[in-house]
């Protein structure tokens, strides 16, 4: 066996090892994405089916103090109100957003100073999940 044959064997091993390394990296990234849960709209903590089971009815009419459009959270009368679209166990929870006439509205149409009626549930940890949110006024407060 001459040096050229040894070089071919070694380079072949390196190529196969390099391909396996890439395959391993792709597999690792896929597993991480699969095992790590995605963030839902109500992301301050994980909501469990037992949280929903032991929740209390919640209703409030007040002005919007702050809005976090990225997290879909409203601050209304110092409560963090989560606007959600998620499945918890066998239960599907979705926030219906509408105006005073019952027409559907997008979340980004809400603004500080508007009066809203929130109907939903208060979870044992204090989070409030809106099931229905009705915009009662269109006024914007500066």
What's the confidence (pLDDT) of residue 137?
Answer: 79
Q: Does the pLDDT of residue 41 top 50, yes or no?
A: no
Question: Which 3 state secondary structure label does DSSP give 42?
Answer: coil
Q: What confidence score (pLDDT) does residue 30 get?
A: 55
pLDDT tens for 44-56 read 456 777 777 888 9
Name the residue with tokens 């390196």: 14
> Which tokens sit at 41?
């709209």
| Local confidence band at 42 (pLDDT 50, 70, 90 cut-offs) | very low
Beta-carbon contacts of residue 45 (< 8 Å; ≥ 6 apart): 125, 127
Q: Which residues on adjacent β-strands are paired with residue 64?
A: 76
Mean pLDDT of 54-76: 94
What mean pLDDT comes out for the span 89-108? 90
pLDDT of residue 126: 87
Between 65 and 127, whose confidence is greater? 65
Which ranges in 1-142 belong to alpha helices (H)? 3-35, 49-53
**Would you state the pLDDT for residue 101?**
93
* Model confidence at 3: pLDDT above 80: no
Identify which of 137, 139, 136, 116 has the alpha carbon closest to the alpha carbon of residue 128.
116
Residue 61: CB partners within 8 Å, gap ≥ 6? 115, 116, 117, 118, 136
Average pLDDT estimate for 14-20:
50
Give dist(CA 47, CA 121) in Å, integer: 12
């Amino acid at each position: 066996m001459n040096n050229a044959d040894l070089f071919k064997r070694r380079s072949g091993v390196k190529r196969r090892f390099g391909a396996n390394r890439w395959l391993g990296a792709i597999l690792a990234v896929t597993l991480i994405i699969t095992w790590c849960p995605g963030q839902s709209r109500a992301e301050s903590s994980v909501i469990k089916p037992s949280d929903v089971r032991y929740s209390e009815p919640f209703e409030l009419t007040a002005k919007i103090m702050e809005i976090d459009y990225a997290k879909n959270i409203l601050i209304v009368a110092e409560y963090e109100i989560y606007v959600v679209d998620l499945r918890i166990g066998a239960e599907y929870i979705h926030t219906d957003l509408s105006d005073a006439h019952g027409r559907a509205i997008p979340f980004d149409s809400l603004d500080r100073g508007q009066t809203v009626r929130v109907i939903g549930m208060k979870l044992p940890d204090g989070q409030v999940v809106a099931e229905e949110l009705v915009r009662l006024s269109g006024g914007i407060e500066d």
